[in-house]
Amino acid sequence: MSRDIETQARILDGKALAGEIRAGLARTVAAHRAAGLRAPGLAVVLVGDDPASAVYVRNKRRACLEVGISARDLDRPAATSQTALEALVDELNADPEVDGILIQMPLPAHLDAQALLDRIDPSKDVDGFHPVNAGRLLQGVRGLAPCTPLGIMALLDQAQIPIEGKRAVVIGRSNIVGKPMALMLLARNATVTICHSRTPDLAGTVREGDIVVAAVGRAELVRGDWIKPGAAVIDVGMNRDASGKLVGDVAFLEASRVAAAITPVPGGVGPMTIAMLLSNILASYERRVGLPG
Ligand code: NAD
């Protein structure tokens, strides 16, 4: 954690924390290998040739290899049928050396993405998107949870930001960020408000938050005067501004003059998401090889 000279808020350095987490995971994998166990394995299914998806897949693969997780690339042409992909998922579900299965989104329009995600064995659903895992999170039962909100909880905890009894405002209600984020904060006894595109007084509601999580996808939507002085502000957004620069959902400079702690974009939530993906793969592996998790 560092303090930027131009701002008042503490900068929550997700890049640094993710690096520490990845180093810890690498040590754990090395110890398992030294004890004679197989490497953890991720299978990544990429359909078609969307350039952004290819970059995401490459980054995930590189992150896996760095900690000793073997990554199997399953690239398929854009015209691949639903039946062929379902057969591939079945094969990966049955493969004892595959601990995690990722299907890179978006899929070509002729494919039923939800049906494919639903077909993944929930114990290999390292993205935490399967309805069984979503249900477990809802019920507070152990399972694999979505990586972005998991990474945010780790960032809040490392910075020792109090959660219990605090007002948390989550902007965005997607299944991969907003909803699971709200459930994780609720499980830690925050009083949680979920805002979305139909929330009438967004600024006024955000101003109530001791913890604000912005997961909208609108560049700098959240202004400095929306932030309660002393709040912790978590910016999930990844948007391009007019000049092509990566910016978050929060107007960083404005907000950092009011908040007590804030995540930068880039270098905040993004690196934590990948670290949590690796952590989910390792958890799945440890259960599969019979190690106490
Ligand atoms: P999404 O499009 O599925 O959901 C956006 C949500 O924002 C919706 O629930 C919608 O109701 C709400 N919303 C839209 N306009 C709004 C408005 N004007 N006021 C209030 N709420 C509004 O998006 P998502 O998948 O949850 O992702 C959100 C952002 O986070 C995107 O920028 C995405 O790129 C980014 N993201 C980053 C990471 C990461 O690792 N850093 C991971 C996932 C998503």
Q: What does the pLDDT look like over 262-288, one tens digit per residue?
A: 999 999 999 999 999 999 999 999 999
Beta bridge partners, 214, equal 171, 235
CA 239 to ligand 1: nearest atom = 32
pLDDT in tens, 123-155: 999 999 999 999 999 999 999 999 999 999 999
CA 269 to ligand 1: nearest atom = 41
How do the domains of the chain map onto residue ranges? 36-122, 146-270
Given this model, what pLDDT does residue 125 score?
Answer: 98
Q: Find the residues whose C-beta lies inside 6 A of ligand 1.
A: 148, 171-174, 176-178, 195-197, 199, 202, 215-218, 236-239, 269-270, 273
Cα–Cα distance, 261 to 233 (Å, whole number): 6
pTM of the model: 0.96
Ligand 1 centroid–CA 267 distance in Å is 18
Cα–Cα distance, 126 to 149 (Å, whole number): 13
Given this model, what pLDDT does residue 292 score?
Answer: 78
Given this model, what pLDDT does residue 21 score?
Answer: 98
Ligand 1 centroid–CA 49 distance in Å is 24
Ligand 1 centroid–CA 213 distance in Å is 10
Given this model, what pLDDT does residue 54 score?
Answer: 93
- The CATH superfamily assigned to 146-270 is NAD(P)-binding Rossmann-like Domain (3.40.50.720)
Q: Which residues are catalytic?
A: 60, 104, 127
Ligand 1 centroid–CA 172 distance in Å is 6
Counting every residue, how long is the chain? 293
Residue from 216, 221, 249 whose mutation best tests the ligand 1 pocket (most atoms within 8 A of CB):
216
**CATH topology (fold) of 36-122:** Rossmann fold (3.40.50)
Ligand 1 centroid–CA 151 distance in Å is 16
Beta bridge partners, 247, equal 239
Residue nearest to atom 40 of ligand 1 (CA): 270
Do the first three CATH levels of 36-122 and 146-270 match, i.e. the same topology? yes
- Helix or strand or coil: residue 31? helix
49, two tokens: 């040739």
Given this model, what pLDDT does residue 88 score?
Answer: 98
Residue 259: partners with Cβ closer than 8 Å, 6 or more residues away: 8, 9, 227, 229, 230, 231, 232, 233
Regions of the chain where pLDDT drops below 50 = none
Given this model, what pLDDT does residue 3 score?
Answer: 54
Residue from 55, 147, 236, 274 whose mutation best tests the ligand 1 pocket (most atoms within 8 A of CB):
236
Comparing CA positions, the residue from 247, 200, 253 lying closest to residue 225 is: 253
CA 217 to ligand 1: nearest atom = 32
Is the separation of the CB atoms in 7 and 263 below 8 Å?
A: no
Residue nearest to atom 34 of ligand 1 (CA): 238
